[in-house]
């Protein structure tokens, strides 16, 4: 277990991704000069660990601390990350690729989604700045992650969500007793409100004014994939897209490990997945014109239903620059994606994961994958959070009396060609 | 009753500290042009060199992104509220 420190960590200074202006460390994510996004600046001369050193560290995302935006010992969420990388040979066969793995953040600690990673980074940045209240605008998974990690840290939390979120995501937030606010409208409406909230109150809103630090947590998914593959890169990675940050951070994570000499070879091709009812980044990739057109979300994949994705332009650039592509799938297709993943791999994912799986099949059918590909599917959330998506599509379980005869009848009906129990 | 433009803190210093600016016009573009003329330092953070909306902000007309209503050509009425919001991450 990573040891928690009594002293605060120190956050790294920031630099504008667009105009390269430098700023001291602060809970701000926007360049005062050009309004471009700010990113942490790492000391190029810092000492980096080798593979053996990393492998000896505790199994959490903090084993990659030299690539995370805090100096000194972290004080919150020491156990997040290092989720399983699951071999999926039957899925590989069906997709027509050489190998396939799931990066299973459906079991990420503590709130069962990839968002635990980014909040772990942000909540320690909040500690660095001495903030006693954190919060977020959320489509659900981030709300769960902020509420859980704030509760453990003993911080107050203000969490804003669209009013019509799935029940499990509301309950999975409210149980930690944050200040939970349901806003009439879409996530984009919540986001607009929270931009003003962040301006007005001195809170650390993890995906607003702490976004520069928050986003760095996403890179750890790439670091873990590389380590769990035996310090090498896959040839292709597919991930769901909401704001678009994850695909950019996956590419950056692999790049940083190449630069550190921990892996070698060509960068993986990056593929993005969205639901047809909210696919502004997919359409941007397809058009290639650099002009994101916002959309009004209409999909059951609410966790990725962001019509005005802040990192959409960067995501499209990353995907096209990597030689990858993007695909959008319908709601029925994403539900089938959830079922296929469960039946072929034993992993139950939420709607965003269903989008990822269904998009992988769409991309395979369109000839984007090779028979030699080693493909990682990023499964970013747990199926128990969106059980409404499966309403009416799974077969009803038969109800029987406690009689062996009735079980025999069921078995005979289920396997008509066999009679394994010798019934007369 | 005029149209009101609300700025984020990061932009208000370019408008002499004002967070809310009253203006008038028939379209969003006319309102933006009026405010850009009155606050020249703010101008390049509202519209780019071609006169289109600056790419790192989103402008809302009441509750709707102006890109869904015709951009700067969207019509405004007295009492409407325009809100400038910097780009935000996912959630």
What is the pLDDT at residue B54?
86
* Interchain CB distance below 8 Å, B87 and A37: yes
What is the pLDDT at residue A56?
98
**Locate tokens 């109800």: which residue?**
A399
User: Which residues share a beta bridge with A102?
Assistant: A86, A377
* Interchain CB distance below 8 Å, A192 and B85: yes
Residues of A in contact with B45 (CB under 8 A): 34-35
Cα within 13 Å of Cα(A329), Cβ side: 28
Residue of chain A minimizing CA distance to B43: A34
The predicted-structure confidence for A334-387, as pLDDT tens digits, reads as follows 999 999 999 999 999 999 999 999 999 999 999 999 999 999 999 999 999 999
| Alpha-carbon gap: B56 to the closest alpha carbon of chain A (Å) | 6
Query: Could you say which residues of chain B have pLDDT below 70?
Result: 1, 87-91
CB pairs A-B closer than 8 Å? 95
Report yes or no: B85 at the A interface, CB cutoff 8 Å: yes
Provide CB contacts within 8 A for A105, sequence distance 6+: A83, A113, A114, A116, A117, A221, A378, A379, A380, A381
Residues of B in contact with A311 (CB under 8 A): 89-90
Report yes or no: B12 at the A interface, CB cutoff 8 Å: no
What is the pLDDT at residue A417?
66
| Distance separating alpha carbons of residues A417 and B14, to the nearest angstrom | 78
Please give the C-alpha separations between residue A18 and each of A202, A211, A311, in angstroms, as whole numbers: 26, 16, 13
Query: Could you say which residues of chain A have pLDDT below 50?
Result: 1, 422-424
What is the pLDDT at residue A389?
96
8 A C-beta contact, residue A55 and residue A33: no
* Interchain CB distance below 8 Å, B88 and A195: yes
8 A C-beta contact, residue A241 and residue A247: yes
What is the pLDDT at residue B86?
80
The CATH class for the domain spanning B3-86 reads alpha beta
pTM for this entry: 0.93
Edge-to-edge strand list for the sheet holding A14-16: A22-23, A14-16, A38-40
What is the pLDDT at residue B56?
83
DSSP string, A122-174: HHHHHHHTT-SEEEEE-SSHHHHHHHHHHHHHT-EEEEEEETT--HHHHHHHH
**Residue-averaged pLDDT of chain A:** 94
Q: Which of A230, A327, A233 is nearest to A276 (CA)?
A: A327
| Residue-range domains of chain A with CATH | 80-388 (3.40.50.1100)
In A298-317, the residues whose Cβ lies within 8 Å of chain B are 304, 306-311, 313
Work out the angle at residue A395's Cα, subtended by the Cα atoms of residues A167 and A406, and round it to the nearest 5 degrees. 125
Residues of B in contact with A244 (CB under 8 A): 90
Report yes or no: B90 at the A interface, CB cutoff 8 Å: yes
What is the pLDDT at residue A298?
94
What is the pLDDT at residue A92?
98
| Alpha-carbon gap: A207 to the closest alpha carbon of chain B (Å) | 5
Report yes or no: B52 at the A interface, CB cutoff 8 Å: no
In B14-33, the residues whose Cβ lies within 8 Å of chain A are none
Residues of B in contact with A194 (CB under 8 A): 88
What is the pLDDT at residue A6?
66
| Distance separating alpha carbons of residues A170 and A156, to the nearest angstrom | 17
Alpha helices (H) along A260-311: 280-287
């Amino acid at each position: 277990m990573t040891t928690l420190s009594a002293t605060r960590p120190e956050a790294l200074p920031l630099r504008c991704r667009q105009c390269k202006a430098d700023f001291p460390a602060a809970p701000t994510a926007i360049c005062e000069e050009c309004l471009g996004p700010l990113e942490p600046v790492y000391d190029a001369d810092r000492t980096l660990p080798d593979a053996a050193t990393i492998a000896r560290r505790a199994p959490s995302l903090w084993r990659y601390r030299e690539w995370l935006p805090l100096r000194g010992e972290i004080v919150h969420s020491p156990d997040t990350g290092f989720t399983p990388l699951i071999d999926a040979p039957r899925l590989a066969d069906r997709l027509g690729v050489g190998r396939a793995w799931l990066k299973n953040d459906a079991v990420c600690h503590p709130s069962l989604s990839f968002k635990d990673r980014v909040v772990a980074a942000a909540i320690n940045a909040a500690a660095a700045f001495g903030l006693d209240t954190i919060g977020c605008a959320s489509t659900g998974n981030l709300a769960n992650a902020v509420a859980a990690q704030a509760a453990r840290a003993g911080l107050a939390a203000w969490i804003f969500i669209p009013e019509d979120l799935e029940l499990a995501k509301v309950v999975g937030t409210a149980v930690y007793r944050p200040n939970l606010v349901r806003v009439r409208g879409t996530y984009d409406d919540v986001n607009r409100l929270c931009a003003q909230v962040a301006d007005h109150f001195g809170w650390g809103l993890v995906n607003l004014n702490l976004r520069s630090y928050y986003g760095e947590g996403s890179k750890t998914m790439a670091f873990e994939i590389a380590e769990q593959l035996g310090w090498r890169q896959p040839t292709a990675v597919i991930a769901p897209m909401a704001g678009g940050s994850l695909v950019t951070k996956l590419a950056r994570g692999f790049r940083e490990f190449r630069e550190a000499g921990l892996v070698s070879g060509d960068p993986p091709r990056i593929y993005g997945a969205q639901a047809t009812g909210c696919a502004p980044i997919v359409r941007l990739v397809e058009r290639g014109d650099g002009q994101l057109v916002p959309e009004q979300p209409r999909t059951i994949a609410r966790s990725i239903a962001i019509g005005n994705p802040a990192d959409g332009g960067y995501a499209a650039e990353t995907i096209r620059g990597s030689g990858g592509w993007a695909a959008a799938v319908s709601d029925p297709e994403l539900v089938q994606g959830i079922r296929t993943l469960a039946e072929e791999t034993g992993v139950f994912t939420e709607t965003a994961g269903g989008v990822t799986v269904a998009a992988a099949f769409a991309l395979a059918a369109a000839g984007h994958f090779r028979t030699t590909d080693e493909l990682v599917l990023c499964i970013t959330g747990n199926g128990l959070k969106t059980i409404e998506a499966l309403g009416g599509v799974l077969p009803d379980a038969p109800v029987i009396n406690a009689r062996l005869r009735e079980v025999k009848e069921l078995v005979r009906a289920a396997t008509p060609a066999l009679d394994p129990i010798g019934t007369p | 009753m005029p149209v009101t433009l609300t700025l984020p803190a990061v932009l208000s210093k370019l408008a002499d500290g004002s967070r809310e600016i009253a203006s008038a016009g028939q379209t969003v573009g006319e309102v933006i042009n009026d405010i850009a003329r009155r606050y020249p330092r703010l101008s390049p953070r509202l519209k780019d060199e071609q006169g289109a909306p600056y790419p790192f902000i989103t402008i809302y007309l009441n509750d709707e992104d102006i890109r869904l209503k015709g951009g700067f050509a969207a019509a405004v009425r007295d009492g409407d509220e325009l809100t400038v919001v910097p780009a935000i991450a996912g959630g």
